[in-house]
Structure 1
Amino acid sequence: MESVAAEAGERKPEEVKSAARALEVLELLGAGGARLSLAELASAMRVPKSSLHAVLRTMEGRGWVDVDAAGTRYSLGLKALMTGTAYLEGDDVVSLAGPVLDALAEETGEAVHLTRLSGPDVVYLAKRESRHALRMYSAVGLRAPAHAIAPGKAMLAQYEPGEVDRRLSWPLEKLTPDTVTEPAELAAQLAEVRLRGWALDDGENSPGVLCVAVALGAEHGSGDAVSCSAPSSRMDTRRTEEIALAVTEAAHSLRTLIKRLGQH
């Protein structure tokens, strides 16, 4: 919540105050999925509770936020879900990725995702479940720090070091004992991604989960990546390389579809 609040404090002079506050409320409520009180929201946004209360009442009346039975804690409303769904339905890359993700999930038997870089984070746009009983947890709309997850590393590797530094939120958060947070070590990992063509994280975002990812490439008009995740217990070196090849081929197929779409 602190990073979202920091962004909120950097309001541009041309922003309309009431509109900016409404958007900040949505960002805060959407950041962690938890219910927040008026006092918590006001503190994070650094605005008077009296001013924020009127904004929340308006948002509640229009379905953007919900309030609990006690009338004290707020969460995202149904309108936020409807708008998020409309975003996915209207996104060309998400639509094109459907058959590609289906085929990749069928080939690997593991969970596969389409993700997008958003600031210092990665957002899950689409998912296909693993066929195995032992699965990782993920969901469309969830965010994860880009430095700690293979799709994020795959997309960050497309940029020059200065741009990588600008995109990330320093100091880097250490999610697990294996999360890379030192700038030099991250830079070395990104250099390896550029040479190898695919990114890897093994327990950096979630303990016991290994993920392989390939970026579609900014030249294809998309800051997106295709990935495959599985419990580390199922991913020895040979299996990881097989998965990496499958994900690379899937990313190539999706790039081709995006290119064809751009030609029409």
Structure 2
Amino acid sequence: MARNIQSLERAAAVLRLLAGGERRLGLSDIASALGLAKGTAHGILRTLQLEGFVEQDAASGRYQLGAELLRLGGSYLDVHELRARALPWTDDLARSSGEAVYLGVLHQHGVLIVHHVFRPDDSRQVLEIGAMQPLHSSAVGKVLAAFDPVARGELAAAPREALTPFTVTSLGELDKEFDVIRARGWASDVEETWEGVAGIAAPVHDRRRIPVGAVGITGAVERVCVSGEPRAELVAAVRDCARAVARDLGARPF
């Protein structure tokens, strides 16, 4: 009978531990939980980190799952849960809005784009699956920070760079905005991340009413906004898309 490879078993155990516990774990936590010597655990983590399966937070030294797992799990995402449920609805949103559509999930101190539908015109565009958007300035980031306490914690711990003259970096001011976002159910970004670009986003909840992602549109300010405010019909379209994805995930109507 073929024997299991112990190093692979231990690496798999590390990944499962990082996936199932706190968002980040230290070396001692991982070694203790798995009954490994610190040197052994560090060697496994170092290898996983070099391959992109694990990432280490520069400030705390703690470890978390890496984005490379998203790339390898693409086939899984295509047939399961959030991205699979969102595919038809995000396509419809791109057609109805005429703008690019993004589906993002919380990752580290930002939002990882897991699905991107191009703006339905003949312009040259770059696929941004795997790109990161900031929590403090992008519409998808702000809506997650408003509805997800974990995202709000990540935002507090992250550097908040002033990307344009309109970027809000004060945590107190952002918290006031999050109150408004929760009350109305959507977030906007009017030239706060990129000059000349605006965005609208809404949260996607699962059957437990937990925000598992955000869907949003991004486009030129003159198309997305009127008199400096997001167009009402685009806000409604984004919110309808988010609700449709949530329903497909099992969320009750709200």
TM over 0.5: yes
Q: Secondary structure at the match of 2:147?
A: coil
Instruction: Give the letter aligned to residue 223 of structure 1.
Output: V
Contact 2:105 2:113 (8 Å CA) reproduced: yes
1:240-259 matches, within 5 Å, as 240-259=231-250
Secondary structure at the aligned position of 2:30 is classed as: coil
Structure 2 match to 1:23: 48
The match for 1:147 is 136
Displacement, 1:132? 3.5
- SS for the counterpart of 1:147 is coil
The aligned counterpart of 1:196 is: 184
Shift of residue 90 of structure 1?
A: 4.8
Aligned length: 212
Give the one of 214, 220, 225 matched to 1:225.
214
Comparing 108-117 with 213-222, greater Cα deviation is found at 213-222
| TM-score, normalization by structure 2 | 0.70
SS in 2 for 1:216: strand
- Check conservation: 1:136, 1:229, Cα contact below 8 A: no
1:210 matches 2:235: no
What CA distance in whole angstroms lies between the structure 2 residues aligned with 1:145 and 1:231? Answer: 18
Q: How does 1:79-118 map to 2 (within 5 A)?
A: 83-118=72-107
TM-score (norm 1): 0.68
Q: How far apart, in 2, do the equivalents of 1:111 and 1:229 lie?
A: 6
1:223 partner SS: strand
Deviates more, 1:11-20 or 1:209-218: 11-20
Unaligned runs of 5+ in 2: 1-22, 32-40, 62-66
Give the gaps of 5 or more residues in structure 1. Answer: 1-6, 32-42, 47-75
Matched, 1:11 2:27: yes
Task: Supply the RMSD in Å over aligned alpha carbons.
Answer: 3.5
Q: What's the offset of the Cα at 1:30?
A: 8.8
Change (3 A) 1:232 1:12: farther
Q: 1:67 aligns to what?
A: none
Deviation of 1:176 (Å): 2.2
Shift of 1:251: 0.8
1:230-262 CA deviation, whole Å, 9 max, x = no partner?
11122233762211100011111111111179x
Deviations 1:23-76 (A, max 9, x none): 333459999xxxxxxxxxxx99x9xxxxxxxxxxxxxxxxxxxxxxxxxxxxx9
**How do 1:16-165 and structure 2 match up within 5 A?**
16-27=41-52, 83-133=72-122, 139-159=128-148, 164-165=152-153
Distance apart, 1:12 and its partner CA: 3.9
1:179 aligns with 2:167: yes
Q: CA deviation at 1:131?
A: 2.0
Shift of 1:11: 3.2
Identical amino acids, percent of aligned pairs = 26
